[in-house]
Amino acid sequence: MNEPQQKWTDVLESKDSLFRLNLKEVWKYRDLVLMFVKRDFVSSFKQTILGPLWFFINPVMTTIVFTLVFGNIASLPTDGIPPILFYLAGNTLWGYFSTTMLSVSGVFTGNAAMFGKVYFPRLVTPISTIISSFMRLSIQMLLFFIVLGYFIFKGEVSPNIWALFSPILIIFLALFSLGLGMIFSSLTTKYRDLSLLLGFGVSLFMWFTPVILPTSLVKKQLGSYGYLADLNPLTPIFECFKFGFIGSGDFNITRLLLSFTFIIIILFFGIIIFNKSEKSFIDTV
């Protein structure tokens, strides 16, 4: 008598495609994503006195320092925007990008022990990082809106229809940090020196992004090479954000669309490299 054939609910097998995102499987592990988000949120402020208040303190202190040093002492222009609002807008977006990208870049090395013991879609970890960083961004955006409301009440700034475009800007900011992070997370499994240089590189990259220096000033200083300022894919996103909420900035829709296209390409390569590395990283990390 033949025994009834068993049917497995889950089959773990290697996939050969380098282009798959496997979001269907990630959705099955959504509870794990939420657990990782909670873990990241709690561990960030474990054994701290002020806890989540640091979400406000960090951008506030950075903005104050930038305003005093670059606005008052160095007297750098801010495209007619009140300095404290200019620097707060830049710090809010930059904090989200840099924190997310650096966190995603440490996915393999930071979770190697766990990856070697249990199976789950590796994409769960960078996605949870994106979400947990977005929670921080939401709190910091509240601070930005409070300061923005004050200057709107004083009549010094005037938002426009492009402010409604900000969710799309943040999505592409997240995709860019995800793509770059996956590329660097794959490379650092073999080249540990890269992880040491990455923090410095991100800090240096801030100077090529309109966080401290407005794009108009950079183009003026570069002269005939002013177009180099537009090669940074973050520049059109930052300028569109400031133009929408503050009504000032070097905004151009064509450059913004080119930026979106470049980000999609980076994300595409990030997926390929990530999928290739996840098959063998445990042997090299």
Write down the pLDDT at residue 229.
79
For every residue of 135-159, DSSP letters joined together read: HHHHHHHHHHHHHHHHHHHHTS---
Query: Can you state the angle between helices 124-154 and 30-44, rounded to 10 degrees?
Result: 60
- Residue 70 is assigned to a structural domain of this protein: yes
- Give me 83's structure tokens: 């300095």
Give the number of domains in the chain.
Answer: 1
- Among candidate residues 152, 179, 154, 153, the one with its CA nearest the CA of residue 163: 152
Structural domain of residue 84, as residue ranges? 23-41+50-283
- Residue 143 is assigned to a structural domain of this protein: yes
Distance CA 104, CA 40 (A): 12
- Among candidate residues 278, 265, 222, 254, the one with its CA nearest the CA of residue 108: 278
Provide the 10 A C-beta neighbour count for residue 214.
25
Q: Tens-of-pLDDT digits for all 285 residues of the chain?
A: 455 556 666 555 545 455 556 667 777 877 888 888 887 777 766 666 666 677 778 888 888 899 898 888 888 888 888 889 999 999 999 999 998 998 888 877 776 667 667 777 778 888 888 888 888 888 889 999 999 999 999 888 888 999 999 999 999 999 999 999 888 888 877 777 677 788 888 888 888 888 888 888 888 877 776 777 788 999 999 999 999 998 887 888 999 999 999 999 999 998 888 877 766 555 455
- Residue 105 is assigned to a structural domain of this protein: yes
The sign one gets for the Cα dihedral 180, 183, 185, 188 is: negative
Distance CA 56, CA 46 (A): 17
- Residue 188 is assigned to a structural domain of this protein: yes
- Residue 9 is assigned to a structural domain of this protein: no
